[in-house]
């Protein structure tokens, strides 16, 4: 970008009327050019702050084209938000193949080791509108656009491996039920209301996904620490034409990490952009979020089941104990979008954007999605030409014979708009199906009568929620009970609560007893439910080959994970910098981030020891810190005695976050009522390598889980 000229400077002689030197014209006419403000027609403007008026106090003149053009364009700046997944954040990155997937798929981007493919990934919540808070309880979207050499491949997944309904025809009902009530348009971005629970208690196939959402999985700590899932089973084909049924996973290198409920609520108020900011900040700081792509590969059998699990049923997982996830590549997000609207808002994903080697199955949910996404983009992006938008353009050559239409920006030349032709020398030609890179639909056989029916196995709605419940650790179960109790407690209708309790009774006696007790309602037995579709108790597939517990479901582990990108807040006294460099070095070595917190802004220390203050008593909140450190010198300082310090420490303690203090910083903990003997509270006379090592380990365990029970017992 060239420097702007002041008004009294003469333009250089080689400048065109639009201010763009001829040799610097951007070849893309849609980009902004030059350094002079113009109208949309390229006319230079000398004033953009005053409307044209009949005298300084007179009426505004209709002839002011600049005014009318500026306001008209502004009036149309918004496009319809996505009907679901409206709230999102995205980033650019690179996918690198490990090269070991070629036995399963001939997809070029997975073929050879080290093959790199550019990607754009959009994360989202589902229920809320575009301006809603990030940290609400919800399923989250995890969509990846791979710009492969063979064309665009979209993996449009979620952070929860199952879905609420088994058939796309129910999707409008589900979304109507979870969206705000149509009369008052409340509550925003919440499932804690009657219509949602009315729906999921009657469509009991939703119980499995609902339980994932009620568990800590519904409260992602950050997008960087969520798993992703393709949900449906896909059919993959290798170069020899052999096929397999495959479930697709994203495994976060930073581990799975979720919020506790109070933390999520505080974040929704204090920083509604919490996840969006976290993602962008991490990328800007060079702590690039990473995931490994994993495949569960299962035989392509006629009945499309695996060890009793119907692979076409999107409400079922295949436990990792039965079919391990094989890692086939790594995703790294390396750059933030430069324009939210152009990229994050206009990106258009579609589960039917596939590449050779990856094919769909007859999962009725997937089949319906194949229709929906193209349809919705036409209304959301104003016509059929959205593939021309820069963010949606394939990075492979396109010659599609699609022409004209709303918002056509290409100037197509020649007569080759039909096939076969002689007028354009036969171009573009169709490819020989045996050539690499050509998409050929697998000739799978289809038969049967036209019916509106589900396979029998789809009527088993309770085996897998039971397995999920059994897989949670006691503290995760307690959090899940608290979530059900809160959400059902927000339902006005006794009938709705009772319906949902009857569904829970079919999952687990302890679960339903605890939720019913919290609601003050009688505990139902296993009487016939109110569900549709066989009431969820159909013969079904039964317990997946005796697996009643899957360890991969729980986030709690006694093995510390990596802490890259985590935030360590160091509370310092009025002039303390001693030890701060050691803290920075140790924490920085883990690619984690240090935030210096002092009473007021500016710097602490002087000369070579000077350190920038990142947060003050006014701006610091516990929600953005994974660990709180209270340095020597805090006692008696302005921050040490500040009420905000106490609040941060109390919240960090309640939320099970690691807390460390040394020197007279320990006195500050005691004064705030922190139990210095509790799990994850580390104290020492002075800062040492040992203290920092222990702190790093405590953060790697995510939380001091034993400290959470008090919070949940209190019903928060
Ligand atoms: Fe979507 N979904 N969906 N969905 N979905 C949309 O497409 C739909 C489903 C998912 O970041 C919409 O472009 C139907 C499952 C994500 O831009 C819409 C059904 C999964 C995103 C649509 C489902 C998803 C969407 C709205 C039931 C996980 C955000 C805007 C059959 C595997 C993509 C848009 C982004 C968005 C329809 C179910 C994931 C209306 C009909 C299952 C991540 O087309």
**Domain termination site, one of 490, 519, 553:** 553
Q: Dig out the tokens for 80 from the structure.
A: 């319809």
pLDDT tens digit sequence for 227-238 = 999 999 999 999
710, 653, 483, 504: CA torsion to nearest 10:
-50
pLDDT at 451: 96
Within-domain flag for 446: no
Within-domain flag for 171: yes
Within-domain flag for 51: no
Is 567 within 8 Å of 624 (Cβ atoms)? yes
Distance (angstroms) between ligand 1 centre and the Cα of 167 equals: 13
pLDDT tens digit sequence for 385-429 = 999 999 999 999 999 999 999 999 999 999 999 999 999 999 999
Highest mean pLDDT among 14-28, 242-256, 513-527: 242-256
**Do 11 and 105 have their domain in common?**
no
pLDDT at 172: 98
Percent above pLDDT 90 for the chain? 85
Q: Looking at ligand 1, which atom is closest to the CA of residue 168?
A: 31
**Do 201 and 277 have their domain in common?**
yes
Ligand 1 lined by 365 (C-beta under 6 Å): yes
Q: What is the CATH number of the domain that holds 684?
A: 3.40.50.880
- Burial class of residue 238 in the structure, from the number of CB atoms within 10 Å of its CB (0-12 exposed, 13-18 middle, 19+ buried): middle
**Do 13 and 150 have their domain in common?**
no
Q: How confident is the model at residue 183 (pLDDT cuts 50, 70, 90)?
A: very high
Q: Is the pLDDT of residue 562 over 50?
A: yes
**Do 194 and 223 have their domain in common?**
yes
H helix intervals, 261-362: 261-270, 274-284
Distance (angstroms) between ligand 1 centre and the Cα of 351 equals: 9
CA separation for the pair 501, 525 (Å, rounded): 9
Q: Looking at ligand 1, which atom is closest to the CA of residue 375?
A: 44
Among 259, 256, 253, smallest CA distance to 225 is for 256
Within-domain flag for 434: no
Q: Looking at ligand 1, which atom is closest to the CA of residue 156?
A: 43
Q: How confident is the model at residue 608 (pLDDT cuts 50, 70, 90)?
A: confident
Q: Is the pLDDT of residue 301 over 80?
A: yes
Interval 329-335 mean pLDDT: 98
What single DSSP character describes residue 104? T
Tally: H helices and E strands in the chain: 17, 20
CA separation for the pair 241, 359 (Å, rounded): 12
Ligand 1 lined by 85 (C-beta under 6 Å): yes
pLDDT at 456: 92
Within-domain flag for 354: yes
Within-domain flag for 447: no
Q: Is the pLDDT of residue 710 over 80?
A: no
Q: Looking at ligand 1, which atom is closest to the CA of residue 372?
A: 44
Q: Looking at ligand 1, which atom is closest to the CA of residue 371?
A: 41
**Do 576 and 547 have their domain in common?**
no
Among 525, 471, 480, 520, smallest CA distance to 503 is for 525
CA nearest ligand 1 atom 16, residue: 141
Interval 312-328 mean pLDDT: 97
Distance (angstroms) between ligand 1 centre and the Cα of 79 equals: 18
CA separation for the pair 393, 411 (Å, rounded): 15
Number of domains composing the chain: 4
Highest mean pLDDT among 38-42, 99-103, 558-562, 636-640: 99-103
Tell me which residue range forms the domain holding 25.
Answer: 1-46+68-77
At residue 370's C-alpha, the angle toward residues 368 and 371, to 5°, is 70
Ligand 1 lined by 139 (C-beta under 6 Å): no
Among 611, 623, 592, smallest CA distance to 692 is for 592
Interval 57-67 mean pLDDT: 97
pLDDT at 153: 98
Print the SS3 string covering 507-570: CCHHHHHHHHHHHCCCCCCCCCCCCCCHHHECCCCCCHHHCCCCHHHCCCCCCCCCCCCCEEEE
Q: What count of Cα atoms within 13 Å lies in the side-chain half-sphere of residue 361?
A: 26
Ligand 1 lined by 376 (C-beta under 6 Å): yes
Bridge partners of 597, per DSSP, are 571, 615
**Do 33 and 100 have their domain in common?**
no
Ligand 1 lined by 89 (C-beta under 6 Å): no
**Do 257 and 362 have their domain in common?**
yes
CA nearest ligand 1 atom 25, residue: 85
Is 357 within 8 Å of 106 (Cβ atoms)? yes
What single DSSP character describes residue 53? B
Q: What is the CATH number of the domain that holds 499?
A: 1.20.1370.20
**Do 259 and 210 have their domain in common?**
yes
Give φ, ψ of 594 to 5 degrees.
-110, 130
Among 213, 164, 158, smallest CA distance to 189 is for 213
**Do 534 and 571 have their domain in common?**
no
ipTM of the complex: 0.97
pLDDT at 64: 97
CA separation for the pair 93, 21 (Å, rounded): 34
Within-domain flag for 402: no
Is 232 within 8 Å of 314 (Cβ atoms)? yes
**Do 72 and 116 have their domain in common?**
no
Coil, strand or helix at 638: coil
Cα 423 to the chain's mean position, in Å?
Answer: 49
Interval 509-517 mean pLDDT: 97
H helix intervals, 292-417: 364-380
Q: Looking at ligand 1, which atom is closest to the CA of residue 90?
A: 11
Q: Is the pLDDT of residue 674 over 90?
A: yes
Distance (angstroms) between ligand 1 centre and the Cα of 134 equals: 18
**Domain termination site, one of 392, 417, 443:** 392
**Do 524 and 672 have their domain in common?**
no
**Do 229 and 365 have their domain in common?**
yes
Q: Is the pLDDT of residue 471 over 70?
A: yes
Within-domain flag for 486: yes
Distance (angstroms) between ligand 1 centre and the Cα of 446 equals: 26
CA distances from 337 to 26, 35, 157, 390 (A): 20, 23, 20, 12
Distance (angstroms) between ligand 1 centre and the Cα of 84 equals: 7
Ligand 1 lined by 223 (C-beta under 6 Å): no
CA nearest ligand 1 atom 7, residue: 373
- End-to-end, the C-alpha distance of the chain in Å comes to 52
Among 195, 190, 151, 152, smallest CA distance to 176 is for 195
Q: Is the pLDDT of residue 439 over 50?
A: yes
Best residue for ligand 1 mutational test, from 372, 389, 391, 392 (most atoms within 8 Å of Cβ): 372
pLDDT at 16: 46
Interval 131-154 mean pLDDT: 98
Distance (angstroms) between ligand 1 centre and the Cα of 156 equals: 7
Supply the residues annotated as catalytic: 85, 158
Best residue for ligand 1 mutational test, from 80, 85, 165 (most atoms within 8 Å of Cβ): 85
Residue spans of beta strands (DSSP E) within 149-239: 151-158, 228-229, 234-237
Best residue for ligand 1 mutational test, from 91, 141, 213, 315 (most atoms within 8 Å of Cβ): 141
Best residue for ligand 1 mutational test, from 279, 347, 349, 392 (most atoms within 8 Å of Cβ): 349
Q: How confident is the model at residue 17 (pLDDT cuts 50, 70, 90)?
A: very low
CA separation for the pair 352, 377 (Å, rounded): 13
pLDDT at 714: 44
Cβ atoms within 10 Å of 27's Cβ, excluding its own:
5
**Domain termination site, one of 506, 524, 553:** 553
Interval 510-523 mean pLDDT: 97
Distance (angstroms) between ligand 1 centre and the Cα of 384 equals: 18
Distance (angstroms) between ligand 1 centre and the Cα of 373 equals: 7
Ligand 1 lined by 373 (C-beta under 6 Å): yes
């Amino acid at each position: 970008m060239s420097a702007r000229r002041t008004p009294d400077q003469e333009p250089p002689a080689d400048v065109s009327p639009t201010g763009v030197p001829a040799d610097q014209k951007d070849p893309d006419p849609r980009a902004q050019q030059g350094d002079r403000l113009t109208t949309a027609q390229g006319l230079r403007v000398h004033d953009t702050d005053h409307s044209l008026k009949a005298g300084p106090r007179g009426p505004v003149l209709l002839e002011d084209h600049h005014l009318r053009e500026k306001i008209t364009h502004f009036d149309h700046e918004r496009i319809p938000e996505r009907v679901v997944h409206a709230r999102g954040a995205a980033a650019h990155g690179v996918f690198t193949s490990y090269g070991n997937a070629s036995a399963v798929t001939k997809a070029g981007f997975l073929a050879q080791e080290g093959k790199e493919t550019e990607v754009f990934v959009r994360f989202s919540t589902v229920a809320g509108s575009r301006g809603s808070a990030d940290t609400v309880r919800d399923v989250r979207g995890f969509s990846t656009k791979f710009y492969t050499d063979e064309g665009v491949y979209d993996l449009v997944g979620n952070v929860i491996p199952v879905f609420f309904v088994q058939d796309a025809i129910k999707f409008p009902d589900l979304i109507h039920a979870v969206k705000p009530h149509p009369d008052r348009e409340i509550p925003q971005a919440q499932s804690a209301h009657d219509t949602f629970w009315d729906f999921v208690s009657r469509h009991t196939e939703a119980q499995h996904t609902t339980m994932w959402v009620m568990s800590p999985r519904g409260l992602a700590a950050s997008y960087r620490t969520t798993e992703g899932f393709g949900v449906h089973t896909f059919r993959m084909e290798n170069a020899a034409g052999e096929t397999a049924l495959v479930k697709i996973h994203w495994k976060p290198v930073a581990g799975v990490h979720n919020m506790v409920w109070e933390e999520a609520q505080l974040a929704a108020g204090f920083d509604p952009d919490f996840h969006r900011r976290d993602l962008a900040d991490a990328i800007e700081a060079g702590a690039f979020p990473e995931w490994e792509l994993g495949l569960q590969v299962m035989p392509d059998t006629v009945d499309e089941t695996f060890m009793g699990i119907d692979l076409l049923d999107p409400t079922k997982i295949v436990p990792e104990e039965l079919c391990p996830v094989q890692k086939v590549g790594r995703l790294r997000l390396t750059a933030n979008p430069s324009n939210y609207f152009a990229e994050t808002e206009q990106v258009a994903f579609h589960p039917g954007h596939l590449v050779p080697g990856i094919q769909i199955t007859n999962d009725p949910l997937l089949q319906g999605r194949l229709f929906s996404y193209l349809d919705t983009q036409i209304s959301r992006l104003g016509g059929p030409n959205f593939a021309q938008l820069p963010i949606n353009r394939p990075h492979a050559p396109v010659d599609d014979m699609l022409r004209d239409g709303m918002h056509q920006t290409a100037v197509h030349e020649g007569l080759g708009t039909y096939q076969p032709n002689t007028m354009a020398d036969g171009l573009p030609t169709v490819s020989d199906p045996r050539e690499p890179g050509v998409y050929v639909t697998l000739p799978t056989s289809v038969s049967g009568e036209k019916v509106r029916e589900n396979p029998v196995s789809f009527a088993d709605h309770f085996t897998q929620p039971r397995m999920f419940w059994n897989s949670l650790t006691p503290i995760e179960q307690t959090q899940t009970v608290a979530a059900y109790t809160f959400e059902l407690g927000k339902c006005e209708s006794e009938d709705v609560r009772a319906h949902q309790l009857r569904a829970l009774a079919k999952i687990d006696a302890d679960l339903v007893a605890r939720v019913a007790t919290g609601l003050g309602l009688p505990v139902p037995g296993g009487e016939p439910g109110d569900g549709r579709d066989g009431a969820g108790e159909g013969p079904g597939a039964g317990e997946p080959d005796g697996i009643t517990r899957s360890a991969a479901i729980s986030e709690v582990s006694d093995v510390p994970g990596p802490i890259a990108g985590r935030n360590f807040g160091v509370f310092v006294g009025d002039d303390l910098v001693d030890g701060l460099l050691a803290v920075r070095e140790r924490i920085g070595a883990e690619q984690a981030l240090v935030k210096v917190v002092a009473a007021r802004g500016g710097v602490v220390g002087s000369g070579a020891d000077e350190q920038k203050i990142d947060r003050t008593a006014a701006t610091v909140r516990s929600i953005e810190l994974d660990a709180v450190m209270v340095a020597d010198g805090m006692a008696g300082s302005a921050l040490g005695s500040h009420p905000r310090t106490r609040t941060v420490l109390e919240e960090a303690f309640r939320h099970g976050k690691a807390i460390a203090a040394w020197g007279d910083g320990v006195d500050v903990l005691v004064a705030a009522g922190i139990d210095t003997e509790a799990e994850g509270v580390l104290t020492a006379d002075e800062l040492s390598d040992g203290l920092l090592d222990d702190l790093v380990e405590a953060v790697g365990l995510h939380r001091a889980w034993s400290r959470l029970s008090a919070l949940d017992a209190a019903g928060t």
